[in-house]
Amino acid sequence: MADDTRWLPKLLVFSVRALVGAAPRWIGSAPSATQRIYFANHSSHIDTVALWSALPDEVRARTRPVAAADYWQKDAARRYIVTKGLNAVFIDRGRAQPDVDPLQPLADALARGDSLILFPEGTRRTESLPGPFKSGLFHLAQRFPDVELVPVYLENLHRCLPKGTLFPVPLICTVRFGAALGRIGDESREAFLERARSAVVALA
């Protein structure tokens, strides 16, 4: 019998909206089928589903979260959720294969026309504001200049399910989408990453 998992994305959206709301607020941009990289602060395991759930159905269907392989492939349950429910793209944070470009799966997804959800800090933080961004966003922006870069701030999720806790606290979360980040010719990696981080902080 075929594995019909169409119910799983709907269940994830319903669950996260019931728990934290994940209400979208579009500030300087609007929902669009335009190919994008949504980049956001990261403080909770609910972050991915909250941002993904805040997108309209037709946009969500073409948007794939980026998931850390070392965490989400630890067991069958986690792997099932992110692959069947979220259609995630895995990234190898630990560089288990040093000669393999860890960004290649993300580049392949963008080349196919998918949008991505990316957390440039690389790991969760306990603070409400993002820390320094790693270089992945910069390299993807360089390789795909026509893909829009949309900053997102996830409000309250650092209190709903902070790092180190197992059970979420029901709190209302807002997902704020900012204006697309413009490209600047010959901008250094450091300047770009700080400008991208500042765009997320400005939405807080």
Q: How confident is the model at residue 1 (pLDDT cuts 50, 70, 90)?
A: very low
What pLDDT, on the 0 to 100 scale, is given for residue 180?
98
The answer, yes or no, to whether residue 171 has pLDDT greater than 90, is no
Instruction: Take residue 152 and report the two structure tokens written for it.
Output: 């997102």
Whole-model pTM: value is 0.89
User: What value does the CA radius of gyration of the chain take, rounded to a whole number of Å?
Assistant: 16
pLDDT tier at 156, thresholds 50, 70, 90: confident
Q: CB under 8 Å to 156, separation ≥6 — which residues?
A: 20, 171, 172, 173, 174
What is the DSSP track for 64-106? EEEEEHHHHTSSHHHHHIIIIIS--EEE-TT-SSTTS-TTHHH
Q: What is the pLDDT, as a whole number, of residue 15?
A: 87
Rounded Cα distance between 38 and 63, Å, is: 9
Q: Which domains, ranges and CATH numbers included, belong to the chain?
A: 7-201 (3.40.1130.10)
| Res 160 pLDDT > 70 | no
Q: What digits encode the pLDDT tens for the residues 68-89?
A: 888 778 888 888 988 999 999 9
Of the listed ranges 69-78, 123-132, 164-173, 182-191, the least confidently predicted one is: 164-173
How high is the pLDDT of residue 2?
A: 46
CA gap 35, 131 in Å, rounded: 26
Per the prediction, the chain carries an average pLDDT of 88
Q: What is the model's pLDDT at position 99?
A: 76
The mean per-residue pLDDT over the stretch 157-165 comes to: 62
The pLDDT assigned to 105 comes to 96
Calpha distance 49→13 (Å, rounded): 7
pLDDT in tens, 94-151: 766 777 788 999 999 999 999 999 999 988 777 778 999 999 999 999 999 999 999 9
Would you state the pLDDT for residue 124?
A: 76
35-72 residue pLDDT tens: 999 999 987 878 888 999 999 999 999 999 998 888 77
Write the DSSP string, 157-177.
HHHHS-TT-SS------EEEE
